[in-house]
Amino acid sequence: MTWLQTADELINGDRAKDYGSVSENFQRIADLWSVVLGVGVTPEQVALCMIQLKVARLVNTPEHKDSWVDIAGYVGCAEKLGG
């Protein structure tokens, strides 16, 4: 299975059942981050920040497959958000 296929199964499978729709979950995260940061955060910015988190980790361990899969998943989430 490719990284993209794995990411697709994750964002459209159990995670959707566990956390709700991408739009609901990322809006919830954006709302919480907005309070912590003291600035408005959008769901699309949540996706971008999560991608950057994974990139930062890959700088240290570029062979870590899960981070690559997660990046693909966050790109898929951004697409669902209309990005």
- Give the amino acid at 83: G
Tokens read off for 75: 């790109």
Asked if residue 22 lies in contact with residue 16, where contact means CB atoms within 8 angstroms, the answer is yes
Distance CA 76, CA 26 (A): 13
Domain range for 68 is 3-80
Our CA dihedral for 39, 43, 49, 55, rounded to 10 degrees, sits at 180
Distance CA 47, CA 71 (A): 9
Instruction: List the chain pLDDT tens, one digit each, 83 residues.
Output: 899 999 999 888 877 788 889 999 999 999 999 999 999 999 999 999 999 999 999 999 999 999 999 999 999 999 999 96
Which pLDDT does position 62 carry in this prediction?
A: 96
Number of domains in the chain: 1
- Give the amino acid at 10: L
In the chain, the percentage of residues whose pLDDT exceeds 90 is 82
